[in-house]
């Protein structure tokens, strides 16, 4: 790419940056937790339409995706799960096509009193924007959009088709990205600006979610017997699961990208609920677990081992032996994915383009990292033979209180994204 174009694109990003921060702030004000994404998706659809993209807005239909590889089981219907894709078709079709993907869903904000300021009233302080979802990953949706704007401001458009995706369900299943795939959206590469501090993600873990349901016979606490408490009966099961976690992290189980990490696979007891009266011995308890998997690790084998671990531990328990736990799956059945294992020329070319773009935008080399979470990249990489570059701004406390994203980082990523688009897709006059 000519230096002149690079400079013009970066200047265009700078020129629109105040507007980009305002956009991010408005987007972050939408409390788009799972099931509540509609207003945020409406906002995205309006913004895409205003920019002349063809907007496709549709409700996910489980029947259309449940047979596909990568599908994760869900409870209940998808009445409220709406994807938005805006497409700009290249006039010349001289370049490569690209998917710019981001997710609109955010995780719950938790107790409000633990936030320094309301999670859906974004504020900017000392160069950071605070708010639930600002980092994970509305800043990425903003950088994707304003990167395209930068091309437009230079009188240019990508010379290959671009699909701008704003998807739901990234935080629990990935079925939003899968539904895009099922609807026919493919491209030569995908870029997903998840907030990993301007590094390129070379590998991501698989993630499995499951619920453990414990039931038994309750009674008045006056007649409490040892071991009959469904809440406390959960404890040895948690311990057994952590022992499994330890085994799975053993050096001989690690894949190349994770060989240096002692504890890449985290087992998280993320939710618990049990009992309904303080003076009744609780007869039921449900806890929710998230477990990481290495790339290549089979979901089915993982489930089988998890079930065996739980049932073996239950059989050792006087209370649970007579009322074995039920294991329910809803949520992630996500396989791991390693861009590093994609030896195609296309992947190499995409990585090279991003490397150059990043270097030009930031003056620094593009660092790589294997992450201990999942992203929607797996759908492109595993099920559509499409290299998926996860590369986004620096954020902190994602999923936590006072989540924040660094605005200068978003600026750099936006510039790098604009440069990447111009290189990967090429440009044509608008």
Give the residues lining the site for a copy of itself (CB under 8 A): 107-108, 110-111, 114, 136, 171-172, 207, 209, 215, 217-224, 229, 231-232, 235, 238, 266, 268-285, 287-290, 292, 331-332, 371-373, 397-401
The residues with which 130 forms a beta bridge, in sequence order, are: 123, 404
We find the least distance from the C-beta atom of residue 239 to a copy of itself, in angstroms, to be 9
Residue with tokens 């994707």: 144
Based on the residue annotation, tell me whether 257 is a catalytic residue of this protein: no
We find the least distance from the C-beta atom of residue 123 to a copy of itself, in angstroms, to be 19
- Looking at the Cβ atoms of 182 and 205, the one nearer to a copy of itself is 205
Q: Which tokens hold the place of 427?
A: 């440009």
The CA distance from 147 to 9, in Å, is 8
We find the least distance from the C-beta atom of residue 57 to a copy of itself, in angstroms, to be 26
End-to-end CA distance of the chain: 18
We find the least distance from the C-beta atom of residue 150 to a copy of itself, in angstroms, to be 30
3-state secondary structure of 48: helix
The per-residue DSSP string of 338-401 comes to: EGGG---HHHHHHHHHHHHHHHHHHSS---EEE-SS--THHHHHHHS---EEE----EESTTST
We find the least distance from the C-beta atom of residue 217 to a copy of itself, in angstroms, to be 6
Element (H, E) at 122: none
Question: Is 187 within 8 Å of 163 (Cβ atoms)?
Answer: yes
3-state secondary structure of 290: strand
Q: Among the options 56, 149, 170, 406, which is catalytic?
A: 170
% helix / strand / coil in the chain, to the nearest 5?
Answer: 40, 20, 40
- Looking at the Cβ atoms of 13 and 205, the one nearer to a copy of itself is 205
Q: Which tokens hold the place of 94?
A: 């001289």
Q: Which tokens hold the place of 372?
A: 């201990």
- Looking at the Cβ atoms of 181 and 237, the one nearer to a copy of itself is 237
We find the least distance from the C-beta atom of residue 165 to a copy of itself, in angstroms, to be 21
- Looking at the Cβ atoms of 92 and 268, the one nearer to a copy of itself is 268
We find the least distance from the C-beta atom of residue 110 to a copy of itself, in angstroms, to be 6
The CA distance from 376 to 170, in Å, is 6
Q: Which residues of 21-57 are buried (b: 16+ CB within 10 A; e: fewer)?
A: bebbbebbbbbbbbeebeebbebbbebbeeeebebbb
- Looking at the Cβ atoms of 134 and 331, the one nearer to a copy of itself is 331
CA angle 81, 33, 73 (to 5 degrees): 50
Q: Among the options 56, 105, 149, 423, which is catalytic?
A: 105
- Looking at the Cβ atoms of 352 and 367, the one nearer to a copy of itself is 367
DSSP H helices, 222-335, are 230-248, 299-315
3-state secondary structure of 411: helix
- Looking at the Cβ atoms of 37 and 171, the one nearer to a copy of itself is 171
Based on the residue annotation, tell me whether 169 is a catalytic residue of this protein: no
Rounded to 5 degrees, φ, ψ at 368 are -110, 150
- Looking at the Cβ atoms of 100 and 373, the one nearer to a copy of itself is 373
Please give the C-alpha separations between residue 188 and each of 110, 278, 424, 428, 429, in angstroms, as whole numbers.
39, 58, 9, 18, 21
We find the least distance from the C-beta atom of residue 237 to a copy of itself, in angstroms, to be 12
CA angle 228, 229, 234 (to 5 degrees): 115
Residues taking part in catalysis: 105, 170
């Amino acid at each position: 790419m000519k230096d002149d174009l690079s400079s013009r694109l970066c200047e265009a990003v700078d020129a629109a940056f105040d507007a980009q921060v305002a956009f991010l702030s408005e987007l972050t004000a939408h409390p788009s937790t799972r099931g509540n994404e509609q207003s945020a998706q409406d906002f995205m659809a309006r913004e895409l339409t205003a920019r002349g993209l063809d907007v496709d807005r549709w409700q996910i239909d489980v029947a259309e995706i449940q047979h596909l590889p990568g599908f994760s089981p869900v409870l209940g219907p998808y009445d409220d799960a709406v994807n938005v894709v805006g497409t700009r078709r290249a006039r010349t079709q001289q370049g490569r096509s690209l998917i710019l993907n981001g997710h609109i869903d955010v995780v719950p904000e938790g107790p409000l009193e633990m936030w320094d300021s309301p999670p859906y009233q974004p504020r900017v302080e000392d160069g950071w924007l605070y708010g639930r979802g600002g980092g994970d990953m509305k800043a990425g949706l903003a950088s994707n959009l304003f990167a395209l704007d930068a091309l437009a401001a230079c009188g240019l458009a990508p010379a290959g088709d671009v699909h701008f995706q704003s998807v739901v369900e990234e935080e629990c299943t990935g079925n939003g990205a899968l539904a895009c795939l099922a609807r026919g959206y493919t491209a030569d590469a995908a870029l997903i600006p998840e907030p990993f501090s301007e590094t390129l993600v070379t590998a991501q873990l698989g993630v499995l979610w499951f619920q453990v349901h414990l039931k038994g016979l309750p009674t008045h606490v006056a007649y409490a017997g040892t071991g009959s408490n469904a809440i406390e009966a959960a404890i040895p099961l948690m311990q057994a699961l952590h022992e499994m976690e330890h085994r799975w992290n053993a050096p001989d189980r690690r894949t190349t990208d994770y060989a240096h990490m002692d504890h890449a696979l985290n087992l998280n007891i993320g939710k618990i609920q049990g009992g309904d009266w303080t003076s009744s011995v609780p007869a039921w308890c449900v806890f929710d677990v998230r477990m990481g998997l290495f790339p290549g690790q089979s979901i089915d084998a993982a489930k089988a081992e998890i079930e065996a671990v739980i049932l073996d531990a239950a059989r050792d328990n006087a209370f649970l032996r007579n009322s074995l736990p039920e294991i329910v799956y809803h949520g992630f059945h996500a396989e791991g994915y390693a861009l590093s294992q994609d030896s195609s020329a296309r992947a190499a070319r995409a990585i090279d383009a991003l490397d150059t773009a990043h270097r030009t935008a930031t003056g620094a080399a593009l660092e790589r990292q294997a992450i201990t979470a999942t992203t929607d990249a797996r759908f492109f990489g595993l099920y559509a033979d499409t290299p998926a570059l996860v590369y986004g701004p620096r954020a902190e406390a994602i999923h936590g209180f006072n989540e924040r994203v660094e605005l200068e980082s978003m600026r750099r990523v936006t510039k790098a994204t604009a440069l990447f688009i111009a290189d990967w897709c090429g440009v044509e006059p608008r």
